[in-house]
Structure 1
Amino acid sequence: MAGNHPGVPGLGDAPFSAGGRRSARPGPGREVDDDELSAAEEDVHGRALVLASVARDARLNQKFLLLITLSAAIATLGLLQSSTAVVIGAMLVSPLLGPIMGVGFGLATLESNLIKRSLVTMAAGMAVAIIVAMFIIWLSPIRDVTPELRARTQPTLLDLGVAVVGGIAGVYAIMRKLSGVMVGVAIATALVPPLSTIGFGLATGRFDFAVGAALLFLTNTLAIAFAATIIARINKFGPSLTPQHTAMQVMGIIVTLGILSIPLALTLNSLAGEVRARSVVQTELRSLLGESDRVDSLNVRMERDAIAVDGVVLVDRYAAKLDTELAAKIRGELDRAARVSIVQLRQQTNAAVQVEEQLNRRLATLEQREEDSRAILAGLTVGELVPRDRVLIDSQARRVIVQRDREAEGEQVAAAIDRIMAAVQTGYPRWLIQNGSLTAAEEPEETAPAEASATE
């Protein structure tokens, strides 16, 4: 009541504006106009709408399960095909950003119900995605390790940075209702492809793939959730929280991300070492080869404290000590043991290349002649006026002899055969098509009436 606190106006003493709002906020010496109250109320109302939207997207329902099933199927097929475009499509379909944002906003406001609901939804989505991936891989006859699969088994600090920035962009998009930005966030913070990779690792017994993909999914999930928590607190979500609550939130985020950064930093250091080792190996190998020699394939990998190198080089002269010399150079540059196995293949000389080209041309010519001879035989025996056993073909000389008995044929049949031979001769001018007798087929007697004298 007004009389209980001298000098401080009570709620009943505050005048109201025409719209029913108080024009003065209780407090000594300070008045608040209608515009300020309206802005404050709009902020509170806007934050309530954002929380309601986040809670709605974090619900576990049939729509969520259907989308996560479709997304996992698309991602798994894209990983098996090593198709980046298909994998990106799975990222866009995935609904996992909803419950992850729910965890972030729940931590910002300490809403235990929102956190529980989001965790249950996310756990169900993870389970469905992994099961769908395992089922598809079990049915698929192709289980090769593709570059798209391998790319999701070695997360680094760079992936953590991408997820943090993506989470910030996602919260900004939710608060400003920018649906287009969420498309970019979904692509940048890949969530379903790592789950499909986990399913691949479990289905094929590649547990190292499953562990690496699980670390990538955990990195993306925590980074997005914590980024959402930080941005939400900056935008005054959870105004009733005390400084002690804020300190606990900050310390929890720092400690969790710090622990998560340890394996990510180790992976990044290992990848950086592999890149440097590959560069050194390529440089040293090039220095040991001749000017005309070239590297056909080269594989450099780290095996504990040693560097393993294998590949194929095309050389003019065989170098007996190439492996030992390259291993010595690698040890000198990188101060690590090296195991080298380089296969040397002799390059073809110009003369050998020319001979091979001539042989190829010769084979092509013979194949063409065989094809022409089959077509000529089919053309001459059309209508069965000329039996097949009376057509003699010499493919090497491009010569065809048709054994005929003009008296037995009769005038009309003989004229028809002459027209057939003339038509075939016109179609194959490089061949010589002639008449021959039944008694001496090897000696041509006369040429078909329309026959052109054709030579090579």
Structure 2
Amino acid sequence: MTGDHPGVPGLGDAPFNAGGRRAARNDEHDEAAGGDAHGRSLILASVARDARLDRKFLLLIILAAAIATLGLLQGSAAVVIGAMLVSPLMGPIMGIGFGLATIESNLIRRSLVTLAAGMAVAILVAMLIIWLSPIKDVTPELRARTQPTLLDLGVAVVGGIAGVYAIMRKLSGVMVGVAIATALVPPLSTVGFGLVTGRMDFALGAALLFLTNTLAIAFAATIVARLNHFGPSLTRQHTAMQVVGIVATLGVLSIPLALSLNNIVREIGARTTVQSELAALLGKDDRVDSLNVRIENDEIAIDGVVLVDRYASQLNANLARAVRDKARRDVRVSIVQLRQQTNAAAQFEERLNQRLAALEQREDESRAILAGLTVGDLVPRDRVLLDAQARRVVVQRDREEEGAEVAAAVDRIMASVQARYPQWLVQNGSLTAAEAPPAAGAPGE
């Protein structure tokens, strides 16, 4: 009966109310799903926009390549980091990753074209700057880009994951860190350096580093994007094929990186052995000035400079024998021995330098005193007798000949010079045989 009264809830209203609540919940779910789809669409649009080849991209890649090349030639890590921040190459690389995740051929094609154009422009700019530069020395910053290892692959993979997370969460600060951690433009500048200077080992090593960073970032972006439901729903077989393809590509890429890492580990081990054996052969006060250890064609090459108190004629042979027994490799040694100064020799040299400095100072003071006394030609130069060793100056004068005014002026000049150089004795008179200073003696301080 209560159901007959309008506006009063009754038993007859229960199904309607329950259905209404279910409908409201479904609408909320659809709205949330639609919101997620809309957010993914915005992210894909942003990625596609960053992967476009336009004037802004070309300008940024030119500036980044110029900054990176100059920083590499200077050996300045700060300048190279600045080039990483300016570089726009992260955009097309992320475009490749998201394109693979969504199987969007247009996005993949656009990103590849943009990336190829950026690579070509960066290498050409680097080649032009290096060709014009009078400095073509190999700096540590250049050498650091020529030996990529598995560690670089790991950094790139982690950096790619962080980059995708930053794009999805709109964290621009994180992208700055990713750009610094994963070097893209500096390896391309190193490729240009290798091509201009004929160092193909540098060009190939830097190209491998760029390929490592690019593929690792792109594939990491693909995996993270798939985990966040970007792209169509694939069957398990398609998903497995995608994962296997990525893992296989990274596995092939890992082979030269593992070999490079193994070479670095071998060089570090060889250097440790050489340092230990060389320290055992040197004397207590001997020291190593420079030491270079490298592996060339399965042979350990050692060269450097040591400072020794006593020359050891068999140092190179003994070191080669000791390292050969430890490392089980052929060894080539070229150590230059330089005799270092003893304490007595160093003290003698220091005293000699002090004496020379004192003599030079007295010579300077002598010239200044002579110029001060003869100013205005009131005192003729031939009437000034100067003994630098005794720091004594005698001005020969005839007051009657000078007159009162000139004599007073000369007195003022002598007083002024005496005040400026109180360690000197400036006096009137003439040098007699009894007063003449000794011909030689230690300078008075």
TM-score (norm 1): 0.87
Residues in 2 aligned to 1:306 and 1:114: alpha-carbon distance in whole angstroms: 49
Query: How far off its partner does 1:431 sit?
Result: 1.6
Alignment partner, residue 132 of structure 2 = 139
1:72-107 CA-to-partner distances (Å, cap 9, x unmatched) read 111111111111111111111111100100011011
Is 228-237 or 406-415 further displaced after alignment? Answer: 406-415
Residues in 1 aligned to 2:224 and 2:318: alpha-carbon distance in whole angstroms: 57
Conserved? CA contact 1:401–1:441, under 8 Å: no
Give percent identity, aligned residues only: 76
Alignment of 1:190 with 2:173, yes or no, is no
Alignment of 1:36 with 2:29, yes or no, is yes
Change (3 A) 1:158 1:428: same
Alignment of 1:243 with 2:272, yes or no, is no
Conserved? CA contact 2:187–2:209, under 8 Å: yes
SS at match of 1:290: coil
Alignment of 1:82 with 2:75, yes or no, is yes
Residues in 2 aligned to 1:130 and 1:384: alpha-carbon distance in whole angstroms: 72
SS at match of 1:363: helix
Alignment partner, residue 210 of structure 1 = 203
Query: How far off its partner does 1:198 sit?
Result: 1.1
Change (3 A) 1:428 1:186: same
Alignment of 1:233 with 2:226, yes or no, is yes
Which residue of 33, 58, 65 maps to 1:72? Answer: 65
Query: How far off its partner does 1:318 sit?
Result: 2.0
Alignment partner, residue 19 of structure 1 = none
Residues in 1 aligned to 2:414 and 2:28: alpha-carbon distance in whole angstroms: 104
Conserved? CA contact 1:307–1:337, under 8 Å: yes
Structure 2: give runs of 5+ residues left out of the alignment.
Answer: 1-21, 437-442
Query: How far off its partner does 1:317 sit?
Result: 2.1
Change (3 A) 1:423 1:120: same
Structure possessing the higher relative contact order (Cα contacts under 8 Å, 6 or more residues apart): 2
Change (3 A) 1:44 1:318: same
Which residue of 307, 314, 323 maps to 2:307? Answer: 314
AA in 1 matched with 2:247:
I
Which residue of 357, 366, 371 maps to 1:364? Answer: 357
Conserved? CA contact 1:401–1:444, under 8 Å: no
Change (3 A) 1:108 1:377: same
Which residue of 177, 181, 186 maps to 2:174? Answer: 181
Conserved? CA contact 1:200–1:210, under 8 Å: yes
Which residue of 299, 303, 307 maps to 2:296? Answer: 303
1:269-297 CA-to-partner distances (Å, cap 9, x unmatched) read 00000000000000011111122221111
Query: How far off its partner does 1:188 sit?
Result: 0.3
Residues in 2 aligned to 1:384 and 1:35: alpha-carbon distance in whole angstroms: 108
Alignment partner, residue 219 of structure 1 = 212
Q: Which has the higher helix share?
A: 2
Residues in 1 aligned to 2:194 and 2:396: alpha-carbon distance in whole angstroms: 72
Residues in 1 aligned to 2:197 and 2:294: alpha-carbon distance in whole angstroms: 23
Structure 1: give runs of 5+ residues left out of the alignment.
Answer: 1-22, 25-30, 446-453
Conserved? CA contact 1:103–1:115, under 8 Å: yes
Query: How far off its partner does 1:34 sit?
Result: 1.6
Residues in 1 aligned to 2:101 and 2:248: alpha-carbon distance in whole angstroms: 16
Residues in 1 aligned to 2:146 and 2:189: alpha-carbon distance in whole angstroms: 11
SS at match of 1:249: helix
SS at match of 1:41: helix
Is 118-127 or 278-287 further displaced after alignment? Answer: 118-127
SS at match of 2:258: helix
Conserved? CA contact 1:316–1:346, under 8 Å: yes
Alignment partner, residue 352 of structure 1 = 345
Conserved? CA contact 1:434–1:444, under 8 Å: no
Alignment partner, residue 246 of structure 2 = 253
Conserved? CA contact 1:430–1:455, under 8 Å: no
Conserved? CA contact 2:152–2:213, under 8 Å: yes
Change (3 A) 1:131 1:383: farther
Change (3 A) 1:132 1:433: same
Query: How far off its partner does 1:387 sit?
Result: 4.2
Residues in 2 aligned to 1:388 and 1:91: alpha-carbon distance in whole angstroms: 70
TM-score (norm 2): 0.89
Residues in 1 aligned to 2:378 and 2:194: alpha-carbon distance in whole angstroms: 69
Alignment partner, residue 273 of structure 1 = 266
Query: How far off its partner does 1:218 sit?
Result: 0.6
Query: How far off its partner does 1:50 sit?
Result: 0.6
Residues in 2 aligned to 1:144 and 1:380: alpha-carbon distance in whole angstroms: 56
Alignment partner, residue 8 of structure 1 = none
AA in 2 matched with 1:291:
K
Residues in 1 aligned to 2:115 and 2:49: alpha-carbon distance in whole angstroms: 14
Alignment partner, residue 105 of structure 2 = 112
Which residue of 428, 436, 440 maps to 1:435? Answer: 428
Query: How far off its partner does 1:132 sit?
Result: 1.5
Alignment partner, residue 15 of structure 1 = none
Query: How far off its partner does 1:388 sit?
Result: 4.3
SS at match of 2:229: coil
Which residue of 134, 143, 152 maps to 1:150? Answer: 143
Residues in 2 aligned to 1:389 and 1:81: alpha-carbon distance in whole angstroms: 59
Residues in 2 aligned to 1:432 and 1:272: alpha-carbon distance in whole angstroms: 72
SS at match of 1:237: coil
Conserved? CA contact 1:403–1:441, under 8 Å: no
How well do the aligned residues superpose, as a CA RMSD in angstroms? 2.2
1:191-225 CA-to-partner distances (Å, cap 9, x unmatched) read 11111111111222222111111111111001000
